[in-house]
Amino acid sequence: MPKFDYSLDYRALSLRAHPELYRVGVGEQGVLLVQPYKAEILPHWRFATPDAARASSEKIYAMFLDYLKVGDFVGADMARKFLQMGFTRSRRYANHKGGKKYAGPVPGNKKGQSGAHGRAELPRSPEDPVKAESARIFKAKWDEAEANPEYARLKKEHKARYG
């Protein structure tokens, strides 16, 4: 699978106008870069409480469906990534008080990338049940998005056409 291209100037680039430049990548790659979708979806992304997570995941899932209706795979995939990120961030906060998983800065981190880069994970805190519930809410919507047959069809078509 072609990797997400971090070399593009996403601040000046509309991937709605240039979907051929979009690569799905792995996991949440590009979720906070790809425009105009970041600007459209990010204002609705919240996970601090189960109520916020429920409203956020429902709104983002509705956006996911709207992108699918117009055949906008990039938009749908970005909405799916925000649902995934809602789950992963909620789980991080559920497992690590304050959300910090690793000690120190990420060595050689490029803007928009994350990962341990060989660093040891900090000890887990007792699970925060509020954040764990937020994670469950986002996970259900993420799973629903991943299982959507129109999403699967558009993803396959995008990969066949653009790599």
Q: What is the 3-state secondary structure (H, E, C) of 114-139?
A: CCCCCCCECCCCCCCHHHHHHHHHHH
- Going residue by residue through the chain, which has 163 residues, state the pLDDT in tens, using 9 for 90 and above: 568 899 999 999 999 999 999 999 888 999 999 999 999 999 999 999 999 999 999 999 999 999 999 999 999 999 999 999 999 999 988 888 777 777 777 665 554 444 555 678 887 778 888 999 999 999 999 999 999 999 999 999 999 999 8
* pLDDT at residue number 163: 82
CA distance 16 to 131: 33
Domain boundaries, the chain: 37-98+128-163
pTM attached to this predicted model: 0.87
* Structure tokens given for 91: 């789980």
Give just the sign of the alpha carbon dihedral 38, 144, 26, 160.
Answer: negative
Partners of residue 35 on adjacent β-strands: 14
For the purposes of burial, counting CB atoms within 10 Å of the CB of 144, is it exposed (0-12), middle (13-18) or buried (19 or more)?
middle
* pLDDT at residue number 123: 78
* pLDDT at residue number 113: 47
